[in-house]
Homo-oligomer: A and B are copies of this chain.
Amino acid sequence: MARKTKENAEITRQRIITAAREVFAKRGVSRTTMEHIASHAEVTRGAIYWHFKNKIELFHAMRDQAILPLIDHIDAVALDEKSEDPLSTIEQFFTNTILTLMQDPATNQTYEIMMTKCEYVDEFAAVLQQIVTNCDYFTEKIRLLYEHAKQKDQLNAALDPAALAMDSHLFFSGLLHMWVKDTGRLGFREQALGLIKQHIALRRAC
């Protein structure tokens, strides 16, 4: 086949990533072969091996497209340190993340793959450690916001910001897992935003 321009090559690359995501979601990462991805993207394996070294590099490319914006998002939230209402800032962050999953099927699908269609062994074991590291980073940001809330007396006095941040992180982690897993019935997804609201309300000074 004829050579493509740089722009066309980039389009091909993106088509491959999209195809990989869709096939991963359907068959799981391990059971997905390069040929599956290739035919779904309407290219040959040669094209994939040109753009990516192997399956895990392709996986990382897919993951980055979903994760990096989220990291940016939490960084932006953390910048909002001077917020008048830190508890609402936390609530907003949770809510926005859920809204992203609702509105962006690609991101949602990538989360689904990472949580229920990937085995974290061998080359993928490192990914799990990155996830844990991200969790720590995330929890620390939340902790800072709880600190500010406490200084502003918006927090129930007896509560410890570090422990609260952990509790919130675990809540949110659980929420994302249920969000992803509960695809059949629509019940859970509808309550998600309400659960976030109540979770934060529980912390406000009473």
Contacts and interface: CB of A to CB of B under 8 A. Distances in A.
Interface string A167-198: 10111111101100110100000010011001
B184 A166 contact: no
Interface range for A: 35 or more
B117 A121 contact: yes
Contacts of A181: 128, 131-132
A120 interface: yes
Interface stretch (A65-73, A77-85, A97-105, A155-163): A155-163
A129 interface: yes
Contacts of A31: 30, 119, 121-122
A160 B30 contact: no
A198 B160 contact: yes
Interface stretch (A21-29, A38-46, A53-61, A145-153): A21-29
A96 interface: no
A93 B122 CA distance: 34
Given A27-B122, A31-B121, A178 B167 contact: no
A202 interface: yes
Contacts of A131: 181
Contact of A116 (B128, B156, B172, B175): B128
A116 B119 contact: yes
A120 B170 CA distance: 22
Given A117-B120, A159-B202, A167-B195, 4 more contacts: A131-B181, A166-B191, A167-B199, A170-B195
